[in-house]
Amino acid sequence: MAMNSCTHGQGIAQGEKFGWGWVSRWRKEMAMRKTWFLILGLLCGGGGVKSATADGPLEIEGKVTHGYATNNGVRLHYASLGEGPLVVMVHGFPDCWLTWRDQMPALARTHRVVAMDLRGYNLSDRPVGDEHYDMRVLIEDVAAVIRAHGRDRAVVVGHDWGGAIAWSFAMAHPEMTEKLVVLNLPHPRGISRELARNSEQQRNSAYARNFQQPGAHTNLTAAGLAFWVKDPAAKTRYLEAFGRSDFNAMLAYYRRNYPREPYAEDTSPVVKVQCPVLLIHGLKDKALLHPALNGTWEWVAKDLTLVTTPDADHWVQQDAADLVTRSIVAWLGR
């Protein structure tokens, strides 16, 4: 299975050709899969979602240390815990570093775990201009967090948009990617294939296209974006985090990276991921349909481990927190 490692330039070239934006579409799809109508209803006006009454801090908040990395003048917030080999965790849309609160303590027993806020979100900077949210820039944000800890490599863990960034980072920076863990975000080629061939996937991605429309961010509210957070104490924190976030920046990910119709399957030369990959997918996700997982082994040069759970939705790290934590811990300890 050996092949030449892709260079940074090769990874970017492939990304530009097949469009990193479909990954953003997946995350929208993920949000959408809860139910297409519920999400639209919540995002458009935000009514019906109450703020949680639990105001106490989450347990994880008393354990982590906060810090910042910088990429070309943009400050990127992260929360860290533990010591050892570096694990960088990257959230998706709409989310923040707290999405990893159930996984961080267990991973921190053997690793230094760093959960970042994507640019535009929560405590990270929110630069103005869609060019600041190009996938090439987002990749370098992860690199900046790794370098901020004095390391040259890391295990990269991503969910949704964070998963898209993680796949892209591994292809662009194989020399910096020790291992790769991706939650509910199929490989970009799998997504490309399903968007081109699968009418159900096309229908389920409609909301993402809406996010590309001018002024779409004005229909978003913190309450609407937090619709998926089930824990009352966590919901309070999410409402605060989204209140600090820039909704226009969130949708810039879609405008900058999401492909336009007509969808076309990627036929560019394959740049294989050069590290072991753990792929975890909640099968109830109707935004990112599981047929996109088929063929992933064709795009990975090392071993691929696939874990699926029939009872979890898009936010598998919350819906099946224990399974996800145990799977990552066991896989990293092999």
Q: Does a structural domain hold residue 138?
A: yes
Q: Does a structural domain hold residue 274?
A: yes
Domain count, the chain: 1
Q: Does a structural domain hold residue 243?
A: yes
CATH number for 173: 3.40.50.1820
Q: Tell the burial category of 204 from Cβ atoms under 10 Å away from its Cβ (0-12, 13-18, 19+).
A: buried
Domain, as residue range, for 194? 8-42+63-332
Q: Does a structural domain hold residue 57?
A: no
DSSP 168: H
Q: Does a structural domain hold residue 187?
A: yes
What is the crossing angle of helices 188-197 and 21-33, to 10°?
Answer: 70
Q: Tell the burial category of 304 from Cβ atoms under 10 Å away from its Cβ (0-12, 13-18, 19+).
A: middle
More confident residue, 35 or 66: 66
Q: Does a structural domain hold residue 54?
A: no
DSSP 98: G
Q: Does a structural domain hold residue 91?
A: yes
Six token digits for residue 256: 């900058």
Tens of pLDDT, residue by residue over 302-332, are 999 999 999 999 999 999 999 999 999 999 9
Q: In which band, very low, low, confident or very high, does the pLDDT at 261 lie, cut at 50, 70 and 90? A: confident
Give the residue-averaged pLDDT of 120-147: 98
